[in-house]
Amino acid sequence: MTPITLARADELADGTLRHARSIDAAPLAVVVMDAGGHPVVVKREDGAGILRVEIATAKAYGALGMGMSSRQIAERAEHQPAFFTSLAAATDGRLAPAAGGVLIRDADGAVLGAIGVSGDTSDVDEACALAALAN
């Protein structure tokens, strides 16, 4: 497993924003984290709300911590609200159960990090991250 590099993290953030602009998404914030949950790249477009970086961080952090996309976390949270309330407390609120946080994996499936996106609807946020990963 090769750790995510600054260059790769930057490519993923730029790819996320490039896709957002191609679909006329609202201004976004993108956070790319390494497998240890450390931010490697943080970008906030002009006009993105002041909480967008924190929300994008929480989406990526949650995906890493739970080993699944933040969409899957949101789906599980609907069925286990008490557990996710406890999880939010355990992580000091650093978990956002909404689509927009996706894992970055290598060819063998090992987790290299995560991308978190916030600024538009959660579905659009997620689509932008997935488009970056597809390239």
pLDDT tens digits, one per residue of 81-128:
888 888 888 888 888 999 999 999 999 999 999 999 999 999 999 999
Classify residue 75: in a domain, yes or no: yes
Kindly report the CATH number assigned to the domain that includes residue 103. 3.30.450.150
Alpha-carbon span 34 to 111, nearest angstrom: 9
Strands in 39-44's sheet, in edge-to-edge order, are 39-44, 29-34, 111-118, 101-105
pTM: 0.94
Classify residue 61: in a domain, yes or no: yes
Classify residue 83: in a domain, yes or no: yes
Classify residue 129: in a domain, yes or no: yes
Alpha-carbon span 102 to 38, nearest angstrom: 15
pLDDT in tens, 66-84: 999 999 999 999 999 888 8
What is the reported pLDDT for 116?
Answer: 98
Q: Looking at the 3D structure of the chain, how many domains does it have? A: 1
Alpha-carbon span 113 to 133, nearest angstrom: 12
Alpha-carbon span 97 to 106, nearest angstrom: 24
Range of the domain at 21: 6-134
